[in-house]
Amino acid sequence: MKRADIIEAATAPQPWDILVIGGGASGLGTAVEAATRGYRVLLLESHDYAKGTSSRSTKLVHGGVRYLAQGNISLVREALHERGLLKRNAPHLVRDQGFLIAAYKWWSAPFYGIGLKMYDLLAGKLNLQASRYIGKAQALTNIPTLKKAGLGGGILYFDGQFDDSRLAITLLRTLEDHGGVAVNHAPVTGLLMDGGKVVGATWRDHETGQTHEARARVVVNATGVFVDDLRRMEDPKVKPMLSPSQGVHVVVDRRFLPGESALMIPRTDDGRVLFAVPWHDHVVIGTTDTPVPDVAWEPRALPEEVDFILKTAAQYLSPAPTRADVRSVYAGLRPLVKAAEGTDTKALSRDHVIRISAGGMLTLTGGKWTTYRRMGADAVTRAAELAGLPRRMSLTEGLKLHGATAEALDEPWKVYGTDAERIQAMPGASVLLHPELPYSEAEVRWAVQQEQARTVEDVLARRTRALLLNAQASAEAAPRVAALIAEELGQDEAWQAAQVKAYQALAAGYRLPGGVLPADSEGRKELETLPA
């Protein structure tokens, strides 16, 4: 659908049943839930879908092993149930991934083995595969780069692995399939009030500068780490809900984890869990937990966070990645709900929370990608009650998401599911954007034509994952991507130049200063410094 048509639909005079503000996991989940129940729903996203935290996860669909250790059985059970549903409803985006807990101490295997058997039991009939003990030889087959000295085998268990921003775009397409309307690059500028009640919002089309009104029977604040900003539009003196925490990941080449399994380190020096996970023929390693006083759209990794990740990985892997091997580094902010003063953020639960303001605005926050569907279902049920909407059952437990297919497709096509064949038939399907990236020119055109991509960043950061896989290569691909988008949207050379400049400045923040990247298996090359 063309943007002009989307704007026309979004500005129709009839009030909406539900207005959702925020296009991340919770907002998209809520909007899909509302649309599939037959409610008229509009979603407004200030930047782009999954621009914030929802594109910066560890790429896991999981119950949360650390929550099991904390004794939060109900959260683990719910998340494991949702993990199973998501694999069933989006098999093109979610796959089974084995995780190895390497045993270097005599007690490690029995200790973690017992806990993971409970993990299996809590998953019930939706369990992926049973956890099991494996010996040293099998452990080294699964992860050949594990340090051999002192290794006594390990526990192999299974969780889900996925692509977060591609799930967001899949939910966008699913929403549109069911009659919902969503607009990106449409920041909310204020709330509409009537007799003390929140009855809608004003929003601006970023591309034209025009301001519009959206009236609704109920407004849902699903803006992630920014929920307090929207709450202050209603009440400037409202107390903040969140204690945001920063999680950092580094991305390195697959050669550092060449086997079938991911590595799970159950207890780091600061008491967290650390993962090294195969992802799009690279490896994502993380994460950290650093309380932050303020939220930002582009949080930046602290040097000590990167050093911590690499130091911890080096305790288990040989060879281990160094700063010179980091292809990309990214940071995301967790919307953790405030707890008692003095509580460590790593001890806070990822349970979602719903709060209703004095003016009737529903705020949904907390949670994680794995439980996005349940979050949306709870929010819509409560929103419908608030607005006096007809009561309707949730259908999303069995809802196949857009493109769902069990067909085994190769990279990078599998994330598109049943749409892959259409993209492969487009011009440029065999022309790579960059020799070190798997993405083609056809995917850029598809992103603009079918997935509401409007900028170079939209394409390279979230429709494809080029920014996270290789920040330098993505910056080098930016001029060609800008030209392709300009051709689709009718933009001029000045627009292209501005887009390239903005994107290359963004990509510079995903690189480590002075780093080097492997040119190939035989040698290395220095990175050129991009403008800051």
- Mean pLDDT computed over every residue of the chain: 92
Q: In 3D, which of 532, 509, 465, 143 has the Cα closest to residue 306?
A: 509
522: pLDDT strictly greater than 70: no
The pLDDT tens digits of the residues spanning 430-481 come to 999 999 999 999 999 999 999 999 999 999 999 999 999 999 999 999 999 9
Residue 531: cis peptide before it, omega within 30 degrees of 0: no
Provide DSSP, 280-294.
Answer: TTEEEEE---EE-SS
Instruction: Calculate mean pLDDT across residues 224-247.
Output: 95
348: pLDDT strictly greater than 70: no
Q: Please, which pLDDT band fits residue 69 given cuts at 50, 70 and 90?
A: confident
d(CA 181, CA 287): 35
Amino acid at 375: M
d(CA 447, CA 449): 6
Q: What is the pLDDT of residue 14?
A: 95
Instruction: Calculate mean pLDDT across residues 311-340.
Output: 92
Instruction: Calculate mean pLDDT across residues 114-141.
Output: 93
Domains of the chain, earliest start first: 3-53+165-242+347-398 (3.50.50.60), 88-159+245-332 (3.30.9.10), 413-526 (1.10.8.870)
* Structure-token match 């055109």, residue found: 445
CB 83 within 8 A of CB 93: no
The pLDDT tens digits of the residues spanning 142-178 come to 999 999 999 999 999 999 999 999 999 999 999 999 9
In this structure, which long-range contacts are made by residues 128-136, counting pairs with CB atoms below 8 Å and at least 24 apart in sequence? 128/83, 128/84, 128/87, 128/96, 128/158, 128/159, 128/160, 129/96, 129/98, 129/158, 130/158, 131/155, 131/156, 131/157, 131/158, 132/156, 133/109, 134/100
* Structure-token match 């709450």, residue found: 231
d(CA 116, CA 51): 34
Instruction: Calculate mean pLDDT across residues 489-508.
Output: 98
Q: In 3D, which of 51, 50, 41 has the Cα closest to residue 14?
A: 41
Instruction: Pick left, alpha or beta for residue 153 (phi over 0 → left; psi -120 to 50 → alpha; otherwise beta).
Output: left
Please list, in sequence order, all residues whose beta carbon lies within 8 angstroms of the beta carbon of residue 203, skipping any fewer than 6 positions away.
44, 183, 186, 187, 188, 189, 211, 212, 213, 214
Q: 213-222 burial, b if ≥16 CB within 10 A, otherwise e?
A: ebbbbbbbbb
Q: What is the pLDDT of residue 454?
A: 98
User: Which is it for strands 245-253 and 290-291: parallel, antiparallel or unpaired?
Assistant: antiparallel
> Which three-class secondary structure string do you get for 232-272?
HHHCCCCCCCECCEEEEEEEEEHHHCCCCCEEEECCCCCCC
* Angle in degrees, 0-180, between the axes of helices 471-489 and 441-450, rounded to the nearest 10: 50
76: pLDDT strictly greater than 70: yes
DSSP class of 213: E
For 44-90, where are the alpha helices, taking DSSP H only?
65-69, 73-89
342: pLDDT strictly greater than 70: no
Q: Please, which pLDDT band fits residue 68 given cuts at 50, 70 and 90?
A: confident
Q: What is the pLDDT of residue 63?
A: 85
Q: Please, which pLDDT band fits residue 25 given cuts at 50, 70 and 90?
A: very high
Q: What is the pLDDT of residue 359?
A: 97
Instruction: Calculate mean pLDDT across residues 223-231.
Output: 97
Task: List beta partners, residue 478.
Answer: none
515: pLDDT strictly greater than 90: no
**pTM score of the predicted model:** 0.94
And the tokens for 157?
A: 């268990």
Q: What are phi and psi of 407, to 5 degrees?
A: -65, 135
CB 460 within 8 A of CB 503: yes
Q: What are phi and psi of 133, to 5 degrees?
A: -80, 140
Q: 214 to each of 219, 230, 258, how far by Cα in Å? A: 10, 15, 51
> How much of the chain, in percent, has pLDDT values that exceed 70?
94
